[in-house]
Amino acid sequence: MFNRPLHGGNIAWAAALAGCSPDAILDFSASINPLGPPESAIAAIKSHLPNLKAYPDPDYHQLRASLSAVHQVPPDWILPGNGSAELLTWAGWELSELDRVFLIVPAFGDYWRTFKGFNANVVEYPLLSAAGEVVNLEFLDGKKQTLSSFNNGLLLNNPHNPTGKLFFQEAILPLLEMFALVVVDEAFMDFLPPDREQSLIPWVSEFPNLVILRSLTKFYSLPGLRLGYAIAHPERLQRWQAKRDPWPVNVLAAAAAEAAIADRVFQQQTWNWLQVSGIKLFQGLAELPGLKPYESAANFLLVKSAVSTSLLQEKLLKESQILIRDCLSFPELGDRYFRVAVRWEKDNQRLITELAKVLSKF
């Protein structure tokens, strides 16, 4: 029997519980853009198949040049990786060398993986109040003198997973004066159009203690290719490079990334889709009795439930072949929260309809 998954997207586990084939599962547990992968990325993969007979460029000059043009930072300030998870390992290594690492919780489970691997001294700061409301980062301001006097690090993600909370630049920038190292995971930042995004990439050159992690997994729907990148001062990235395996990014992933980040049509289509579908899904969930969705800047919604979400998940699977993400892997949330990805409108409506049926039986 399959073990209960710690991450979303475990279709094999869901199908076994539902008693159906994996293809029958409608997956809301993994926050992947339903518009992708972009056709431009698929075409790039096909055109680079002959290059499989050669090793990748160990320095990824072309990929870094492409990312440099997008983010307006020099190429040597960019380090591509085998998904942002690989780069999180090296960020965790440096954070763990500090006296303490402050972590905003609930937090992505992979953060705990890297911290446990390096025996980090982790201090948790809750983002949810006792009443279940999402608070801002200002709660750290009162500790500025204390935090600044120690060799501390901070890891947070923006937009925050799993709440979807977007932290504004002005809320994060003061923290760069308080911590020896600040790592900001911006895996979902691409879902915000340029006039709304709150990336700290423009400030990397001013703050040697700032590291930004980015991913192509969510926005471009490319989790199978494993590609992410870090943006930080070159000296720091050179230390990471000296420790990791050679050729972490394969030639097909690099080619797909170069094509995807240049695909302006796909990007605009995604922003247009999410603006409409995200609001409608939020409104539909909010109208169901016993459910409270949280406003989100990303392509997912955290939902507070009056009933057991593990039981709700089981009933949805067995009765409707729909998979939602339980939040049991987030200790601060437990069995009264679940998370759902924003999908196509017809899929979202099916989720709302089936949730209404299941909730009416409690």
pLDDT tens digits along 61-91: 999 999 999 999 999 999 999 999 999 999 9
Structure tokens given for 362: 């409690």
pLDDT, tens digit (0-9, with 9 covering 90-100), for 163-180: 999 999 999 999 999 999
Question: Could you give the CA distance from residue 8 to residue 3 in angstroms, rounded to a whole number?
Answer: 13
Contact 103, 155 (CB under 8 A): yes
Q: In the structure, what pLDDT confidence band is assigned to residue 141 with cuts at 50, 70 and 90?
A: low
- Please give the pLDDT value at position 109: 87
Whether the pLDDT of residue 7 is over 70: the answer is no
User: For 327-342, b where at least 16 C-beta lie within 10 A, e where not — what string?
Assistant: bbbbeebebebbbbbb
Strands 291-293 and 325-327, by their bridges, are unpaired
Compare 145 and 115 and report the one with higher pLDDT: 115
Contact 106, 127 (CB under 8 A): yes
Question: Could you give the CA distance from residue 11 to residue 25 in angstroms, rounded to a whole number?
Answer: 7
- Please give the pLDDT value at position 281: 98
Q: In the structure, what pLDDT confidence band is assigned to residue 15 with cuts at 50, 70 and 90?
A: confident
Q: In the structure, what pLDDT confidence band is assigned to residue 146 with cuts at 50, 70 and 90?
A: low
Cα–Cα nearest to 98, from 135, 153, 142, 147: 153
Determine the average pLDDT of the residues in 40-50.
Answer: 98
Structure tokens given for 305: 């439930």
User: CA dihedral defined by 103, 106, 111, 117, rounded to 10 degrees?
Assistant: 80
Q: In the structure, what pLDDT confidence band is assigned to residue 137 with cuts at 50, 70 and 90?
A: confident
Q: Is 276 helix (H, G, I), strand (E, B) or coil?
A: helix
Whether the pLDDT of residue 211 is over 50: the answer is yes
pLDDT, tens digit (0-9, with 9 covering 90-100), for 301-355: 999 999 999 999 999 999 999 999 999 989 899 899 999 999 999 999 999 999 9
> Judging by beta carbons within 10 Å of its beta carbon (0-12, 13-18, 19+), is residue 255 exposed, middle or buried?
buried
Q: Among the listed ranges 74-78, 132-136, 254-258, 331-335, which one has the minimum average pLDDT value?
A: 132-136
Q: In the structure, what pLDDT confidence band is assigned to residue 9 with cuts at 50, 70 and 90?
A: low
- Please give the pLDDT value at position 1: 45
Question: Could you give the CA distance from residue 143 to residue 117 in angstroms, rounded to a whole number?
Answer: 28
Please state, rounded to an integer, the average pLDDT across all residues of the chain: 93
Determine the average pLDDT of the residues in 6-13.
Answer: 72
- CA atoms 332, 109, 201, 30: torsion sign: negative
Query: How would you list the strands of the sheet with 181-185, edge to edge?
Result: 78-81, 228-231, 210-215, 181-185, 152-157, 100-105, 122-126
